[in-house]
C-alpha cells in the first residue's frame, strides 16, 4: 500500500514538473499523476537503454520527469493534447 502511495506521489510531482517545463503550468492532479506514472515507465526504459540507473528518490524523480517530458513531446508530435 505504501509503495502505491509513493508511486502516485512521484508520478504527481514528475507530471507537474514536466507540465511546468513543457507548458509553463501543470495539468491538474489526475493528469499529472497519469503523465508521471507513464513517464516513469518510459523514463526507466530509456535510462536502461542508455545504461543509466535511477537510484533513490531523486533518481526516480529525475527518471520519471525525463520520461514525462518525452511522453509530452511524443503526444505533441502526434497532435494530441494530454
For the chain, what is the mean pLDDT? 85
Q: Which of these, 69, 13, 27, 25, lies nearest to 46 by C-alpha position?
A: 69
* 32, three cell numbers: 499529472
* 9, three cell numbers: 506521489
Domain map (residue ranges) of the chain: 2-77
C-alpha to C-alpha distance for 69 and 57, rounded to whole angstroms = 18
| Per-residue pLDDT at 66 | 93
Residue 11 Rama label (left phi>0; alpha psi -120 to 50; beta): alpha
| Per-residue pLDDT at 9 | 86
Find the mean pLDDT for residues 1-22. Answer: 84
| 82 confidence band (pLDDT: 50, 70, 90) | low
Residue-wise pLDDT for 19-65, tens only, equals 888 877 777 788 888 888 899 889 989 999 999 887 888 988 999 99
- Asked if 26 contacts 48 with a C-beta cutoff of 8 angstroms, the reply is no
C-alpha to C-alpha distance for 78 and 28, rounded to whole angstroms = 22
Q: Supply angle C-alpha 76, 21, 31, rounded to 5.
A: 65
Amino acid at each position: 500500500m505504501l509503495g502505491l502511495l509513493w508511486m502516485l506521489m512521484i508520478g504527481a510531482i514528475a507530471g507537474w514538473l514536466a507540465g511546468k517545463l513543457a507548458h509553463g503550468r501543470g495539468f491538474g492532479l489526475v493528469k499529472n499523476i497519469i503523465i508521471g506514472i507513464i513517464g516513469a515507465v518510459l523514463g526507466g526504459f530509456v535510462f536502461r537503454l542508455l545504461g543509466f540507473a535511477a537510484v533513490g528518490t531523486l533518481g526516480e524523480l529525475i527518471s520519471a520527469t525525463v520520461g514525462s517530458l518525452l511522453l509530452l513531446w511524443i503526444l505533441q508530435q502526434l497532435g494530441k493534447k494530454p
